[in-house]
Amino acid sequence: MDKVCAVFGGSRGIGRAVAQLMARKGYRLAVIARNLEGAKAAAGNLGGDHLAFSCDVAKEHDVQNTFEEMEKYLGRVNFLVNAAGINRDSLLVRTKTEDMVSQLHTNLLGSMLTCKAAVRTMIQQQGGSIVNVGSIVGLKGNSGQSVYSASKGGLIGFSRALAKEVARKKIRVNVVAPGFVHTDMTKHLKEEQLKKNIPLGRFGETLEVAHAVVFLLESPYITGHVLVVDGGLQLML
């Protein structure tokens, strides 16, 4: 079976590191983000025969088109990583409804839509593997991140239920739940303050999370698992 891996959110941060690791392992990659130039740059840097696609995961039509295009130009997707995500941190009483909707649509609905499209093609191939990138706050909650935490908590519930639903079809679904990781998403944070609460005393690097994603993608007897990669932060929450 050809190894074709779609990485949504593959142009930057954690998704980009996953794409780098998977390319080194011989997978054919689809690097997907809204900004096509960013996705192209990331795919180009992988070397080899990888392709970039523009897609907003919150839009069903975009997701359907992207799966059609991937099948046409790369072959059927049998590995899926959902690393597209946004945060709009604020106290609930100050959170605009549009920011609630955009976080839920990107982080939760988006992964549901890509999983739905991927599961269809994986059933035809009699197998596949999915990793959704959640967050430690989806398990523990965080003040100022109630909506984001809900989107990630929802993603965990969704992934575990889907794991049960598709296990007989030899499709596995797992979650990686990172703590603080050095990416564009966290560059505005006060790292000096925050790292005092992290037992390992530092933020994580994207490759450290990517290794966990690839481990779950390739572990044939693990499904419905939530792998926390947070430097021990959950011990303190």
Instruction: Write out the DSSP string of 81-123.
Output: EE---------GGG--HHHHHHHIIIIIIHHHHHHHHHHHHHH
- Element holding 8 (H helix, E strand): strand 4-8
Choice from 56, 60, 69, 71 touching ligand NDP (CB under 6 A): 56
Residue 196's contacts (CB-CB under 8 Å, 6 or more residues apart) are none
CA atoms of 137 and 198, how far apart (whole Å): 14
Task: Compare residues 15 and 153 and give the one whose CB is closer to ligand NDP.
Answer: 15
CA atoms of 143 and 208, how far apart (whole Å): 26
Task: Compare residues 166 and 230 and give the one whose CB is closer to ligand NDP.
Answer: 230
Choice from 4, 5, 6, 13 touching ligand NDP (CB under 6 A): 13
At 202 the three-state DSSP class reads coil
Q: Is 149 in the site for ligand NDP (CB under 6 A)?
A: no
CB atoms within 10 A of CB 197: 15
Choice from 1, 25, 35, 91 touching ligand NDP (CB under 6 A): 35
Task: Compare residues 51 and 123 and give the one whose CB is closer to ligand NDP.
Answer: 51
Residue 167's contacts (CB-CB under 8 Å, 6 or more residues apart) are 223, 224
**Closest by CA position to 30, among listed 64, 75, 86, 61:** 75
Task: Compare residues 38 and 141 and give the one whose CB is closer to ligand NDP.
Answer: 38
What backbone torsions phi and psi does residue 156 show, to the nearest 5 degrees?
-65, -45
- How many residues touch ligand NDP under the rule CB under 6 A: the total is 31
Question: Quick one: which segment of 123-131, 164-172, 182-190, 219-227 binds ligand NDP (CB under 6 A)?
Answer: 182-190
Choice from 3, 38, 170, 234 touching ligand NDP (CB under 6 A): 38
CA atoms of 95 and 89, how far apart (whole Å): 8
Show the site string, 60-89: x = touches ligand NDP by CB under 6 A, - = not: -----------------------xxxx---
Q: Name the strands in the sheet holding 128-133, side by side, starting at the edge strand that comes first in the sequence.
A: 51-54, 28-33, 4-8, 79-82, 128-133, 171-178, 226-229
Q: Is 55 in the site for ligand NDP (CB under 6 A)?
A: yes
Residues noted as catalytic:
148
> Least Å distance between CB 36 and ligand NDP?
8
Q: Is 33 in the site for ligand NDP (CB under 6 A)?
A: yes
> Least Å distance between CB 62 and ligand NDP?
8
Choice from 183, 210, 223, 233 touching ligand NDP (CB under 6 A): 183
Task: Compare residues 171 and 213 and give the one whose CB is closer to ligand NDP.
Answer: 213
Residues that bind ligand NDP (CB under 6 A): 8-9, 11-15, 33-35, 38, 55-58, 83-86, 106-107, 110, 133, 135, 178, 180-181, 183-186
